[in-house]
Amino acid sequence: MDFDFGSLLAFIIFGVTIGVVYGIVALGISLIYSGLDIVHFAHGEIYMFGAFLGLVLSQQIGIPYPGAMIGAMILAALLGMFIERVFYRRLTRSGGGYTVSGMGMIICGFGMSVALMNVAFLIWGADAEPFPVDFGIEPLEINDISIPPSYLLTAVVSLCLMGILNYFLRYTKIGLAVRAVAHNKDIAFLMGINVPLFISLIFGLACALAAAAGVLVGPMQSVQVEMGYLMLMKAFAAAVVGGFGSLPGALIGGILVGIFENLGAAYISASHKDIYAFLLLILVLMYRPAGLFGIVAKVKA
Amino acid sequence: MLNIKEVHSGYGKLKILRGINLNVPQGGVVALLGGNGTGKSTLLKTISGLVPVMEGSIEFDGQIISGKKPHEIVRSGLVQVTQSKEAYPAMTVEENLMLGAYTRSDSSVVRADLERVYEFFPVLRQRRKVLSGTLSGGEVQMLVIGRGLMAKPKMLMLDEPSAALAPKVVLEIFSNIYKISQTGVTILIVEQNVRMALLLAQYAYIIRDGVIMIEGSAEDLINDPSVKDSFLGGTVANTKKSLNS
Amino acid sequence: MRNWTKFLAGLAAGGFVLSATAALADEIRVGITMRMVSENGQKYGQMVMDEIGLINEAGGINGHQIKATLMNDECKSDKGVANANKLIFQEKVHLLIGSTCSSVSLPIVDVTAKAQVPQIIPHSTNSQITQKGSAWVFRVPVSGRFYAGVNAKYVGENIGKKIAYICAADAASQNDCDAMQAQMKSQHGADPAYVAQVQEKEVDFRTHMQKIKSAGVDGIMVAALAETMSRALIQSYEAGIGTDVRRIGSSSASNAPVPKISGDAVKGVFYAAAYSNADTRPIAKLFNQMVKDRYGIHAPDHDFSQAYDLIRIVEIALNNSDLKLTNSSLAADRTAIRDAIANVKNYQGLASGPISFCAAATPQCRDGNKTPVLIAYKKGGEAFETEVLARVNMPEDFGL
């Protein structure tokens, strides 16, 4: 394959557009990790549920696409909070992370992943469902690269969501409290913060982000019960590459994974595209075990 | 103000406190003294609600608070100043202080109180946009005290404000605590630095192995030779260093 | 209830076994393993069982009932081989029907050859299946080698010679892709303009589409299983590759999920298959109506027609077999059934041309159907429409 600068640029742009989606799912995984001290292995299924909810809202109920996305985010947040309250709470209450119950939590996450997949299977079946959305606008043409409106929309919406989240966390009182809970629950308690409520809030927020990713990707890749697994793996890689617990890290990690796998597919071999994310993961773990933006290990009470 | 009656508590099956009785009068300064591992931190956590009460009761400002959630206890005006290492290092000084005012909804008064804290600790004003992880030990101690004040407490509980600080800084911190008590805030101070604590407090309790060994007015205790003995539980060096300073 | 059928599909996916009749001493045992993961898969499996049930109701084969055991291999070769072993050695079937995916049928060919059990294949198109030299295998669908020949002829004469290929990693698509490239070379001397080897379930084709767009091709062949193909088709339009570039599908383009998922992106896509529901013959119209009434399928694809033709061929062969059906006659009965299938000549069913087998263990004898039909989509979505572009009888040793 001969090299030209135009297509290199195109591959990087495509990498970024899918990378920001990995980024928002990774952001959720990172948030949950900071807030609950657990790696949430059912997050891919929340993403899948989000995609199906968006599909139902827009195709069957007829809500316009932006409304369907917001609706899916709200429903997924409620679903997430329900799961956290009913199933995870009793495990996280006795400590997460590297404790014995933290191990139980990981297993519980895997179980939830299988359970959610089967629930989705019973509701929507195993077939892939089309999610046609008319994005309307003409592709953006830069030299001979044309960027379709759906890719642009994906990137813009993802970045907006991250911007909103960043503003929320940095400049609002609730956001400040979320960060406090994420960093150290005991001190947060002493600040008068209702920590259990905030843990639910964090979980809901993370699930809403995953649902947004599902609704964004659905129109391009169709919606299917098994779609969550691959996204979880990519987002997990993004979160680790960026540094677990770091929010800007999740975004940068996602974009790096996106670019890395697209360049790998373009210039090395496309038949094993999914391994590039893990190759990057291994490289980062070898040379920077805390990830690119990893913060110092959390102080545990 | 704070009344602790026959309190037993601990972690899971491990009982640490075995029948603590302690009383802090309104507007007073009371010291709780003891070495490492004597149960004084557990007592603070029990009062704050982080560690559940197994037996006995805790009453604050006329209400039973034992059994309440930590955030509810904070809202009733009893605020614990955490140890200095427990600031949020990834947040700025001002964010830390604002977090202290989390329970309050009177935002205009909060701004005024922030100014008051800055007047109290001018160094915090200079460094208000800086991540608190980069502050010096003394500055962080001022920050956590200021953060406690932001909650507009009726009573402050301070957890070892002199820990790991240079003697000169300790003096500055204690003079600030004295000024706070003069504004009418009731204070319970937990310390290993016996001399400084007894200078500040009117009344003191000495805890060891989860029970109160000795109690009395600060004047009595400061002259009591057995006080020194009760610190032989492994913190001699600390105490000696403090006493020499 | 749609959801309940899916629930049953779920049970079947878990290895649940459905049996048509109760066990009888002198019954003919038939084992079936197919991919039944999708809604359609579930239904053609059901159709096979229903048709066997009808044969039994009408008195069976020469007075013998057929006992059919249907298993799901989910298109996974390990499951398929396990199913085949169970059916052959535990159920002691006289005849094995299966499978759907080439990657599953390929290893099962070795199992049946070794166990000396006749195997008749309903769906798999990979050319290698009949080239292994097994005397026990018969293929009802059109082999990939014929599809490629027809496709390449039509493409070279009507579309152009600059073709880009997107080839997914599953066995059927790899075979379709390689065969098409070989045919373009041998018929028109054309080398591929671009080849992308992608993962079986790839979700993002944008880098390839960008390259294909800048390569300026006449057509794109997308060789992939239904869902993957649909994603590639949608993304080809997203990338701004216009309708002037024709999209060529591999054999799985005939699966109903393709028009359903692809929507408008499927319009103009053409492919070679064994059956078109746009077929105007009375038998085809009756069949379409039957499938619609029984199973609620809008338009049966060739997976349905081939499964139906297969049962008719099996019925003919069993009627012509002299079976003892005792415990000691198992091997003799299996051989008798094999020889009877090899003697089926000029069966005229739903397939576009006659299906004939013969005794030699060669692809010429065992690829029964040599008449692919070229089909194009006129409309996508659930209510998709197709049209027949051409029917071609291929010489029996084409592509060998």
pLDDT recorded at residue C42? 87
Nearest to A192 among B89, B91, B103 (CB): B103
Over residues B57-113, the pLDDT tens digits come to 999 999 999 889 999 999 999 999 987 677 888 889 999 999 999 988 888 889 999
Cross-chain residue pair A150–C7, CB shorter than 8 Å: no
Indicate if the pLDDT at residue B245 is higher than 80: no
pLDDT recorded at residue C375? 92
Q: Residues near B121 by Cβ (< 8 Å), separated by ≥ 6?
A: B142, B143, B145, B146, B176
Kindly report the nearest CA distance between residue A126 and chain C, in angstroms. 6
Chains contacting A (3 or more CB pairs within 8 Å): B, C
Cross-chain residue pair B86–A195, CB shorter than 8 Å: no
Indicate if the pLDDT at residue C58 is higher than 60: yes
pLDDT recorded at residue B220? 84
Over residues C203-231, the pLDDT tens digits come to 888 888 888 988 889 999 999 999 899 99
Q: Where are the domains of chain A?
A: 31-133+150-224, 226-296
pLDDT recorded at residue B77? 93
List, in sequence order, every residue forming a beta bridge with C222; answer none if it has no partner: C166, C249
Residue of higher predicted confidence among B45 and A102: B45
Interface of A with B in 174-213 (CB under 8 A): 176-177, 179-180, 183-184, 186-187, 189-195
pLDDT confidence bin for C14, thresholds 50/70/90: very low
State the average pLDDT over residues A245-255: 86
pLDDT confidence bin for A139, thresholds 50/70/90: confident
Average pLDDT, chain A: 85
ipTM for the assembly: 0.84
Kindly report the nearest CA distance between residue A243 and chain B, in angstroms. 15
pLDDT recorded at residue A294? 66
What DSSP state is assigned to residue C225? -
Chain C residues within 8 A of A1 when measuring between CB atoms = 211
Cross-chain residue pair C2–A220, CB shorter than 8 Å: no
Candidate from A29-38, A210-219, C41-50 with smallest mean pLDDT? A29-38
Coil, strand or helix: which one is A161?
Answer: helix
Over residues B184-211, the pLDDT tens digits come to 999 999 988 888 888 899 999 998 888 8
Chain B residues within 8 A of A189 when measuring between CB atoms = 48-50, 69-71, 74
Q: Where are the alpha helices (DSSP H) in chain A?
A: 5-36, 43-55, 65-83, 89-92, 100-124, 149-171, 173-183, 185-190, 195-221, 227-242, 247-267, 274-287
Over residues B28-45, the pLDDT tens digits come to 999 998 888 888 888 999
pLDDT recorded at residue C322? 92
pLDDT recorded at residue A6? 74
Chain A residues within 8 A of B75 when measuring between CB atoms = 192
Indicate if the pLDDT at residue B233 is higher than 60: no
Residue pair B145/B81 in contact by the 8 Å Cβ criterion: yes
pLDDT confidence bin for A99, thresholds 50/70/90: low
State the average pLDDT over residues C63-88: 94
pLDDT recorded at residue A96? 46
Q: Does A140 touch chain C (CB under 8 A)?
A: no
Spatial CA neighbour of C334 closest among C322, C344, C343: C322
Cross-chain residue pair A295–B90, CB shorter than 8 Å: yes
Domains defined for chain C, CATH in brackets = 2-124+281-350 (3.40.50.2300), 145-273+373-391 (3.40.50.2300)
d(CA A32, CA A210): 12
d(CA A208, CA C165): 38
Q: Residues near A243 by Cβ (< 8 Å), separated by ≥ 6?
A: A249, A253, A290, A291, A292, A293, A294, A295
Residue pair C10/A121 in contact by the 8 Å Cβ criterion: yes
List, in sequence order, every residue forming a beta bridge with C271; answer none if it has no partner: C375
Indicate if the pLDDT at residue C364 is higher than 90: yes
